[in-house]
Structure 1
Amino acid sequence: MDLIIKVRRGFEKVVASIIKELLGSAVEVTPAPQGYLGIVFVNGVGAGKWEIAKMLVEKVPEADKVLVVEGVTKAELPEIERVAVEVAKRYIKSGDTFAIRTTRRGVHSFTSIDVNVRVGAAVKEATDAEVDLEEPSKPLYIEIFQDIAAICIPATREYRKLRRDKPLPLETFRKVAIGQFIYEGDEEAVRKMGERIGRAAQTFEVGELTILLYKQTSGKTLRLFLEAVEEGIESRYQIQVKSYGRAVWKVPIYVYELYQYVRDRVGEPLVVTDPKGDYITHVKDKLAELFKAERVNFLIGSREGVPPGVFRFASLVVDLVPEVTIATDFVIPSLAVAIASALEEANALPKYVGKKRPRSSE
C-alpha cells in the first residue's frame, strides 16, 4: 500500500471512486480492505506518492486523513519498532516534537498503548526529539491491519479541540448570572421557548439562571415555562455527562421579581442587553473589569425589552449584534459568544498551556 485514506464510515466506495477518476485505472484503489470500514487503500502510485497525497488533500474533502505509507512490516512489536525508527530518522530531527498514533485492528498480544510507549521511547532515543502528545510538529502514525503494520506520515493536519494559547472561557461563564424575562404566548410557544432557553443556559454552564417576572403573569404560563426550562437544562446536562471527559456544572434555576432582583444585586456588576447599548466589543475593557467580581449579572428581555429605568442601575448596557434584534431563544448563545470574544480581545481570558510542561531551555 502507498496511501491509507481515512474516511467517514459509509464513504469508502464514494472516495475510492473519486480517487479512481482522479488517478486513472493504473492505480489500485481498495475500499474497506479486509472489511474494515472507514479505510481506503491506494497502491501503485510509485515514487510520486507525496504529490498524489497532496493532490488528494486539495481535491477530496471526503478524505478526513491522508496517510503516506513510508514503511510496512509484520505486526510484531520488535519489527514495528525497528521500521518506525528507520522512518523517524528520515522524518524527525532534533528540535522537533513528535507523537506516536497507533490504531490496531485485529487480535494481537500487545495493545496500541504498548506500541506507543515502546516505539515512542525508541524514536526519542534515535532522534533526540521531544514527545508532545497534544501538538506534535511531526506525528507518526502506525496503522495495524491483522498481521501487517504500516508506518505512516500524515499529509493532513491534525485538528484538536484544545491547542496551546486557545482561550478558556468556561470558568468565566460560571460567573455569569442570567436574569431572563419570562416568555409569554400560547402554550406551545411558551414550552418550546422555555426548553430552548434551558438548553442554551446549560450548554454554556452559566452560574445561574433566574426567571424574572416584571408584571402580573398567569400561573399556568409560569408553570409551563419553568417546567420547559428545567427539561431543557436536564436534556442538555445528560448529553454533556455522557460525552464530556470532565465534571459538568448543572445550572440552577430561580424565580424573582425584576425590580427586587435589581435591588438584591446592588453592589454587583449588572449588565443589560439592549440594542440601545454600546457594542459589546467597544466596551471590552470595562467588561473585563466587571469580571474581576465573583458574579456578573446579565438581564435579557423577552418580546419586551428591559425597562429603561433599570438602565440607570446597570454597570453597562450592551448591544450584542448591531442592527439585529436577536430572537429570545438565541440571546444566551449570542451573549456567551460575545462575552468570550470581547474578553479575549481584552486579553482577559486564561489560555490553555497544555498538559506537558515545555522543554527546559537550560
Structure 2
Amino acid sequence: MLLIKTQRGMEYVAASYIREALGDVKMEIRPSGFLGLIILYSDLAEKIDGIPEIETIIPIKVECSAELDEILSKAEIIAEELKGARTFAIRTKRRGTHNFTSLDVNLDLGDRIRELTGCEVDLNFPDKAVYVEIIGKRAFIGVINGEEERKKYTPEKFDSRKLFGKISFIQMPYLEDTKAALEIGERIGRAAQAFEIKELILAPYDYVNAFELEYFIKGVRRGQIARYKVQEKAYAREVRKVPVFVRDLYQVARDKRRRRNILIVTDPTGRQLSEVKEEIVRKMKFADEIVVFAGSRKGIPKGIFRLADFVVDLTPYITFATEQTIPVTLSALLTVVEEEEGS
C-alpha cells in the first residue's frame, strides 16, 4: 500500500496517470474527503515515481484506527523497520478531529521506538523517517530512508538561523492613521516572526500618537501570531516566538552600543553593501549581537549614525516600503554572509 500526496485538486489527474502506468489498480481518491491524497493498493512505487503531479510517495507498513493507544501499539512493528539505523524522526500529519495532537504522537511514539531500538532522534538528518499519516478515523504508518526524504535542510547549506538568531531589529513605528498603522504593523510582525530574529524593538524617538501606536503594536502582534501558527504546522522542530519590546530609539542605541555588538543603520545616504561586505561579514561573525536600525515614514535620526558601525544603502536609487525593510535587510545580510562563507 502507498500513500500518495498531490497538490490540492490534482488527485484525479494524478490518479489517471497512475492507471496508465499500473492498469486497473484499486485506489481511494480523497479518502474521507481530504484533498491532495490518494491511497494506492500497490507497492510499485518505482513505476509511478516519474509522474510530476505526485508530490510524495510513502510506503505504508501499518494501518490502524486513529487512536493514540492503537498507534503506540504498533511501535514494535515500526521498530523492526529501523534495523541498522542510528537515528530516526517521527513526522506526524493529522487530519480531522481527535483527542490527541500531532505532538503527542511524535513524543509518545518516539519514546517507545527509542526504548525498543536504542536509536536517537534527529529531526533534520535522520537515518530513517517514520511517517504517521492520520486521515479521519484511520492512521497509516510508513518508514522511508533518510536520504530519500526531500529535505529543506542539508549539511551543505548555511543555517540562516545562526545569523538571524543574533539580529536585534530596531524598527521605528509606522504612524499615520490607525488603519494604516494596523496593516503595516501586521506585515512587520509577520516578517519578524518569519525570520525568527533575536528580538524586535519598536522604537519611537519623540512624542507619538498613543492610539496610532496602539494599533501599530496590535498589528505587529496579529502578524506575529499568524506566522507563528503557520511555522508550528510547517516545521518539524520547535519554533521560537520572537520577543517584541518598545523603547525610546536613543536609549536603545546607547544600550546596544557595546564592544561585541555591531550596529547597522539602513539609510539611502549610506554606502552600498557591496562596498563594505567583507568588513561587515567579519564583524558580524564575531559579534554577540547584530543590531539593525530601520526607519519608517521618517528615516533614522542622523545623530544615531555616529554610534553606528555601518550606514548602509541596501537598494541604491530605490526606496522600499516600511514593511519590506526586514525581509530586504535580512536577505541582503544573509547573501553577503553566504558569499563570504563560500569564497
Deviation at 1:183, TM superposition (A): 0.8
Say which SS state the counterpart of residue 175 (structure 2) adopts.
coil
In the alignment, structure 1 residue 272 sits paired with structure 2 residue 268: no
Within-5 A mapping of 1:294-309: 294-309=288-303
Residue 346 of structure 1 aligns to a residue in which SS? helix
User: Is the alpha carbon distance of 1:189 and 1:41 closer, same or farther for their aligned partners in structure 2, counting shifts above 3 Å?
Assistant: same
1:106 matched to 2:105? The reply is no
User: 1:220-271 deviations in whole A, cap 9, x for unaligned?
Assistant: 2223223332343344445555665326244131221x34433443344210
Q: State the shift of 1:196 in Å.
A: 1.7
Shift of 1:180: 0.8
| TM-score scaled by length of structure 2 | 0.66
| C-alpha separation in 2, matches of 1:139 and 1:250 | 29
1:195-221, Cα deviation, whole Å (9 max, x unpaired): 221222223232222222244432322
Matched, 1:311 2:269: no
Shift of residue 314, structure 1, vs aligned partner: 1.8
Matched, 1:204 2:195: yes
1:284 aligns with 2:283: no
Contact 2:31 2:39 in 1 (8 A): no
Shift of 1:105: 1.9
Q: Is the 2:3–2:60 Cα contact (8 Å) retained in structure 1? A: no
SS in 2 for 1:182: coil
**Structure 1 contact 177–297 (Cα < 8 Å) conserved:** yes
Partner of 2:209: 218
CA gap 1:115/1:281 in 2 versus in 1, 3 angstroms = farther
Unaligned runs of 5+ in 1: 68-100, 125-129, 144-148, 349-362
Deviation string 1:14-40 (CA, Å, 9 cap, x unpaired) is: 2122445x65xx822443179587225
Pairs within 5 Å for 1:1-362: 5-8=4-7, 11-20=10-19, 27-32=23-28, 38-39=37-38, 41=40, 52-53=47-48, 57=50, 60-65=51-56, 103-106=61-64, 113-121=75-83, 124=84, 133=88, 158-237=149-228, 240=231, 245-246=237-238, 248-256=240-248, 258-267=249-258, 268-280=261-273, 282-291=275-284, 292-347=286-341
Partners of 2:61 and 2:177 in 1: CA distance: 54
Q: How many residues align?
A: 289
- Which residue does the alignment assign to 1:96? none
Structure 2 vs 1, CA of residues 111 and 281 (structure 1 numbering), >3 Å: closer, same or farther? farther
Distance in structure 1 (CA, Å) of the matches to 2:262 and 2:277: 14
Task: Please report how far the alpha carbon of residue 159 of structure 1 lies from its aligned counterpart in structure 2 after TM superposition.
Answer: 1.0
Give unmatched runs, 5+ long, in structure 2.
89-123, 134-139
SS of the aligned residue for 1:297 comes to strand
Q: Is the 8 A contact 2:11 2:30 kept in 1?
A: no
Question: Alignment partner of 1:28: what SS?
Answer: coil
Name the residue aligned to 2:95: none
- CA 1:114 to 1:232, structure 2 compared with 1: closer, same or farther past 3 Å? same
- Rounded Cα–Cα distance in structure 2 between residues aligned with 1:282 and 1:307: 23
Q: Distance in 1 between matches of 2:265 and 2:23?
A: 63
| Contact residue 207 and residue 252 of structure 1 kept, 8 A | no
- TM-superposed deviation, 1:175: 2.2
Q: Give the Cα–Cα distance (whole angstroms) in 2 for the partners of residues 284 and 63 of structure 1.
A: 42
**Letter in structure 2 aligned against 1:158:** E
Rg larger in 1 or in 2?
Answer: 1
- Looking at structure 2, the residues matched to 194 and 4 of structure 1 have their Cα atoms a distance apart, in angstroms, of 41
Shift of 1:11: 3.8
Contact 2:5 2:38 in 1 (8 A): yes
Equivalent residue letter for 1:253: F
TM-score scaled by length of structure 1: 0.63
Q: Is the CA contact (8 Å cut-off) linking 1:177 and 1:206 kept in structure 2?
A: yes
